[in-house]
Structure 1
Amino acid sequence: MSKTSHEKDNYQWNSTFSFLMAMIGAAVGLGNIWRFSYVLYSNGGGAFFIPYVVAILIMGIPFLILEYGLGATFKNSLSNILKKIRPQLEVIGWITAFLVFLVLTYYVVIMGWDMIYLVLSLFKGWGTNPDAYFMTNIVVGSNNLQGITSFVIPTLIATILIWVLLWYISHKALDKGISKVVNILIPLLFIMMAIIVIYAFTLPGMWTGVTALLNPDWSLLLYINVWLAAFGQIIFSLSMGQAIAVTYASYLPEKSKLVDNVLVVVLSNSSFEIFTAFGVFSILGFMSLTSGLPIHDIATSGTGLLFVVFPEIFNVMGDMAYIIAPIFFLCVFFAGITSALAFLEPMTLAVSRKFRLPRVRSVTILCIFGALMSLVYTTASGNYILTIADGFINQFGIILVVILQSLIFGWSYGVEKLLPVLNEYSTVKVGKTWVFVIKYLLPIFLSVMWIIGMIDLFKTQSSLDIILQLIIALIFVVIPLVLTILPSREDI
């Protein structure tokens, strides 16, 4: 086998099933477990399903169809696709891939926390006060930079271990690495989450939680922030516009049913997060019953739900917690690892293609670089920097690159060109309505979201927060600029 064909095999799915598992793995991440249930609860309960479904139909599905079409047509990295459309646009591809890579650098730290809690769950090692344990042993320090020189050793070790695991899986050819992992982990993830949710339905107080979750507040549908929350959830839940779908779709074999595959991924992702939300709130209802606290005092989002509220619930669950808690933290780990692999892949493909590096070398360089960047989040000031970085990258960076991609592919490239490749083998066809959504609806909706997000972001910021955000902005512009300017070895 020639070196060229060997490299091609390194970047090709061995089946459509592997692609679907990888895409579902990219979509189903920590956010589905810790974010969606709270977004649903705090934005109108059952009424939130209306903006949620609208966001899927007019943004999630159309944009993923665009990304699949681009990947299947060009069989290349996003930066190279943009370069072919217009050389000046290459930098936007690098910014997009690098933004997702920046997310990965702190995402692995949260996975590190989960790895620690997976071990602790075997003997309820967080003690009788999980909140104090989390703040003292995991998130050490306060909302400043005073602790930036001292490492939190358990977090540091766990983070390095996860980078090693990511390298071990990703440096192999696609069918020997990512394919094998997602084909096992995604079905397992769905089975384990089903076990947790079905058990949650048997708990006393379960109906209290489900009723609180679904209780519809129709008046909230008149507020733009509820609609923006739905669109924001879909962007991050489906990893829209983050070069992941373009990259994964570029590895597809010929004659793939592109539109059908989009629908499978979107349906799987939404089913998982809605199903999980029922489980989470059934368990919160049980906590409400046993603690006497109302649901709104317990319900929370993010790391507080995973590493404080759930350990508190496991503490009052009795011996059954020794089975449910490890399964729960293992679910979080599986969801995290499949998403982390997806976050790494756009930069891997872009670096490999531009500099003609073998996959193993690209992955090794990126994992070393990423691990070094992750170190800042393993310090006593890590959680403070992580919160600022996450808010800024999500609110400012990712929505902005999705807007730019809508405009570039809708207008500069001409999205109509993708219709033949999208419709050729797909059972479900797309046409003028889809083109209209990409060219007009998406850029308008997303621009409104971005402006409101920017106002919210800077309204409550301290001067130190703004300085850190400017540093992050500088990093995600300067490095992609350097990568764009460096001479390409593709044509050598």
Structure 2
Amino acid sequence: MATATMQTHKREAFGSRNVFILSAIGSAVGLGNIWRFPYVAYEGGGGAFLIPYLCALLTAGIPLLFLDYAIGHRFRGSAPLAFRRMHPAAEALGWWQVLICVVIAVYYAVIIAWAGMYTWFSAQLAWGPGKEQEFFLGDFLQTADVAEGGLSTTFLPQVGLPLVAVWVVVIGIMALGVKRGIGRANLVLMPLLTVMFAILVVQALFLPGAMDGLNAFFTPNWEALADPAVWASAYGHIFFSLSVAFGIMVTYASYLKRKTDLTGSGLVVAFANSGFEILAGIGVFAALGFMAHAQGTEVSGVATSGIGLAFIAFPTIVSQATGGSIIGVLFFGALVFAGITSLISILEVIVAALQDKLGWARIRTTLTVSIPLAIVSIALFSTTTALTVLDTADAFVNAFGIMAVALVAIVVVAWILHKLPALQIHLNTRSSFRVGILWRLLLAVLAPIVLGYLFISELVSKISEPYSGYPVWFVAIFGWGMVVALVVLAILLSLLPWSARSHAKDDPEYDEFLLDEQYDPDPETGAVHLPAATESGARS
């Protein structure tokens, strides 16, 4: 009987450390690396921005990444299970992270669908020269004003059908599991993404005016370093860029073998992500330099970010450049691959949480999670008001979802549960790069200060006036209402009992971790640390 239980609850694992690193990089390298970082850096002082960016990476991004790895690997579970094993009262933090991923997954898929369609459009230059904005907002999205007509139910097949295709592909990957699905997908997609983007960058560098774009991107504005907003922008970008603090890296780390080098892996992931961002900055601003050259204007007049950069500015570049169709296919194809590797990591947070809680088989859990999310995604974002809903949900879930849960989680782990010393021991026992008191100070002191400042700044900004001028009722539902619902639902989910078949009970691998901790000495003092009572009690 005991043997059957052990087989039922055997946790999935990545095939190797290298597959984990590729998967973690795939999660971190997403749409924001390509369409957000270049503009953030440009606005933050160009080359001078690399100073606050590096400071944010070293003092906040990497320490938080190590924290997520330590929690997931030490407590061997999805976000809710890992936090529950840390302390039963902390389980709600895990569900908060899961629900944030639910919201992101619903709208993230549609951007991948748009990019997929624009890969096809690029081959034909379907939008026509000079009509890029009209094509995107009018012909393609047929954008309607929510202030005039409310939420639309008009189905757009040119968006809905590719969105269905995205969900079919992603659900197929998820159903295959961690090793055969997520691991293999990243083994294929990440090298393809890297090669495609490298070719795109090389091609962009040979466009007329490319050097003007690079000068605009790299020329340092040292005065910007005196602006606190620039530093806040650097820290804010790093928090989102590395996929920390909303369950992804906790979940991925739980699939690692017991003796994996955690901090060494984290350093590879962090610097690979930053390297890709700088590469994206070079490619994007070389292309924008060409656009400015072709239009006879300054780079500052064409520089933009986000959806405007991807679906309006880049099609303009594609229309004007020699061999523009190739540039378009490479750019939007890269967006598709980067989006898929990130989306599967977001979905894995949700699937792993329910699988741990309910003890269901992989395929059953995947379908139970993914099909409802796909239906909501298609229903909301295949309509003429999709862009407005996406813009609002994205702004609020980032500011008051990811940032808020990161702040609360750090305060709980560092100041209430006092778990940082034990997590430091866990990291140092298994890793090549050892962390010490500086790591704990950065997490316990600096991170809450920075996150608190960013959170308050966003709160003041959003309260002072309706977001983007949207109707109050609309922002109340898709902005503030969503934020409150995430917290309430997280608490309610944490109160639900765990299934008798759940991975929280009779988990032999977690028990082996507890035995490891009993006999692994503190690498700094040589003392033996027994597991805390709350850790063993959390399994009951």
TM-score range, shorter chain: over 0.9
| Residue 449 (structure 1) aligned with residue 450 (structure 2) | no
1:88-129 Cα distance to aligned partner (Å, 9 max, x none): 321121011110221111010111111111111111112221
| Residue 480 (structure 1) aligned with residue 490 (structure 2) | yes
Q: CA deviation at 1:466?
A: 3.5
Q: Which residue of 1 aligns with 2:99?
A: 98
Q: CA deviation at 1:419?
A: 2.0
- Local SS of the residue matching 1:428: coil
- Matches of 1:331 and 1:6, distance apart in 2: 39
- Local SS of the residue matching 1:388: helix
| Residue 149 (structure 1) aligned with residue 153 (structure 2) | yes
Query: Is the contact between residue 170 and residue 178 of structure 1 (CA under 8 Å) also seen in structure 2?
Result: yes
Query: Is the contact between residue 400 and residue 483 of structure 2 (CA under 8 Å) also seen in structure 1?
Result: no
Query: Is the contact between residue 419 and residue 430 of structure 1 (CA under 8 Å) also seen in structure 2?
Result: yes
Q: CA deviation at 1:189?
A: 0.9
Q: Which residue of 1 aligns with 2:29?
A: 28
- Local SS of the residue matching 1:126: coil
1:301-321 Cα distance to aligned partner (Å, 9 max, x none): 111111111111111113x12
Q: Which amino acid aligns with 1:422?
A: L
Q: Structure 1 pair 479/379, CA: closer, same or farther in 2 (3 Å)? A: farther
Q: 1:196-235 alignment to 2 at 5 Å?
A: 196-235=200-239
Q: CA deviation at 1:428?
A: 1.2
| Deviation larger for 220-229 or 134-143 | 134-143
* TM-score, with length taken from structure 2: 0.88
| Residue 398 (structure 1) aligned with residue 422 (structure 2) | no
Q: 1:251-270 alignment to 2 at 5 Å?
A: 251-270=255-274
Q: Which residue of 1 aligns with 2:61?
A: 60
Unaligned runs of 5+ in 1: none
Q: Which amino acid aligns with 1:91?
A: A
| Residue 136 (structure 1) aligned with residue 145 (structure 2) | no
- Matches of 1:5 and 1:21, distance apart in 2: 28
- Matches of 2:375 and 2:253, distance apart in 1: 30
| Residue 431 (structure 1) aligned with residue 440 (structure 2) | no
Q: Which residue of 1 aligns with 2:424?
A: 419
Q: Structure 1 pair 355/6, CA: closer, same or farther in 2 (3 Å)? A: closer
Q: CA deviation at 1:2?
A: 5.7
- Matches of 1:141 and 1:201, distance apart in 2: 34
- Local SS of the residue matching 1:251: coil
- Matches of 1:396 and 1:475, distance apart in 2: 12
Q: Which residue of 2 aligns with 1:17?
A: 18
Which residue of the other structure, out of 148, 151, 172, is the alignment partner of 1:168? 172
- Matches of 1:143 and 1:485, distance apart in 2: 40
- Matches of 1:427 and 1:218, distance apart in 2: 36
- Matches of 1:362 and 1:488, distance apart in 2: 15
- Local SS of the residue matching 1:174: helix
Q: Which residue of 1 aligns with 2:348?
A: 345
Please provide the CA RMSD for this pair: 1.7
- Matches of 1:22 and 1:175, distance apart in 2: 11
Query: Is the contact between residue 127 and residue 135 of structure 2 (CA under 8 Å) also seen in structure 1?
Result: yes
1:441-488 Cα distance to aligned partner (Å, 9 max, x none): 111111111101111122231523431223312432343334223221
| Residue 463 (structure 1) aligned with residue 472 (structure 2) | yes
Q: Which residue of 1 aligns with 2:45?
A: 44
Query: Is the contact between residue 224 and residue 230 of structure 2 (CA under 8 Å) also seen in structure 1?
Result: yes
- Matches of 1:151 and 1:228, distance apart in 2: 40
Q: Structure 1 pair 2/292, CA: closer, same or farther in 2 (3 Å)? A: farther
Q: Which has the larger radius of gyration?
A: 2
- Matches of 2:9 and 2:361, distance apart in 1: 7
Q: Which amino acid aligns with 1:56?
A: L
| Residue 363 (structure 1) aligned with residue 372 (structure 2) | no
Which residue of the other structure, out of 377, 382, 389, is the alignment partner of 1:378? 382
Query: Is the contact between residue 395 and residue 457 of structure 1 (CA under 8 Å) also seen in structure 2?
Result: no
Query: Is the contact between residue 75 and residue 85 of structure 2 (CA under 8 Å) also seen in structure 1?
Result: no
- Matches of 2:425 and 2:316, distance apart in 1: 54
Q: Which amino acid aligns with 1:464?
A: W
| Residue 440 (structure 1) aligned with residue 445 (structure 2) | yes
Structure 1's consecutive aligned runs of 4 or more residues displaced over 6 angstroms after TM superposition are none
Q: Which residue of 1 aligns with 2:524?
A: none
Q: Which amino acid aligns with 2:351?
A: T
Query: Is the contact between residue 81 and residue 91 of structure 2 (CA under 8 Å) also seen in structure 1?
Result: yes
Query: Is the contact between residue 207 and residue 321 of structure 2 (CA under 8 Å) also seen in structure 1?
Result: no
- Matches of 1:466 and 1:147, distance apart in 2: 12
| Residue 322 (structure 1) aligned with residue 302 (structure 2) | no
- Matches of 1:91 and 1:420, distance apart in 2: 25
Q: Which residue of 1 aligns with 2:536?
A: none
- Matches of 1:264 and 1:441, distance apart in 2: 23
Q: CA deviation at 1:33?
A: 0.5
Query: Is the contact between residue 91 and residue 484 of structure 1 (CA under 8 Å) also seen in structure 2?
Result: yes
1:378-401 Cα distance to aligned partner (Å, 9 max, x none): 211111111111111101111010
- Local SS of the residue matching 1:176: helix
- Local SS of the residue matching 2:276: helix
1:242-279 Cα distance to aligned partner (Å, 9 max, x none): 11001000000121111111100011000001011011
Q: Which residue of 2 aligns with 1:69?
A: 70
- Matches of 1:170 and 1:253, distance apart in 2: 21
- Matches of 1:325 and 1:334, distance apart in 2: 14
- Matches of 2:310 and 2:462, distance apart in 1: 24
- Matches of 1:276 and 1:313, distance apart in 2: 16
* TM-score, with length taken from structure 1: 0.96
| Residue 191 (structure 1) aligned with residue 195 (structure 2) | yes
Q: Which amino acid aligns with 2:294?
A: T
Q: Which residue of 1 aligns with 2:113?
A: 112
- Matches of 1:276 and 1:21, distance apart in 2: 18
Unaligned runs of 5+ in 2: 507-540
Query: Is the contact between residue 75 and residue 86 of structure 2 (CA under 8 Å) also seen in structure 1?
Result: no
Q: Which amino acid aligns with 2:303?
A: A
Q: 1:271-282 alignment to 2 at 5 Å?
A: 271-282=275-286
Count of residues in Structure 1 that have an aligned counterpart in Structure 2: 490
- Matches of 1:354 and 1:20, distance apart in 2: 26
Identity of aligned residues (%): 34
Q: CA deviation at 1:140?
A: 2.2
Q: Which residue of 2 aligns with 1:336?
A: 339
Query: Is the contact between residue 106 and residue 374 of structure 2 (CA under 8 Å) also seen in structure 1?
Result: yes
Q: Which residue of 1 aligns with 2:315?
A: 311
- Matches of 2:150 and 2:424, distance apart in 1: 55
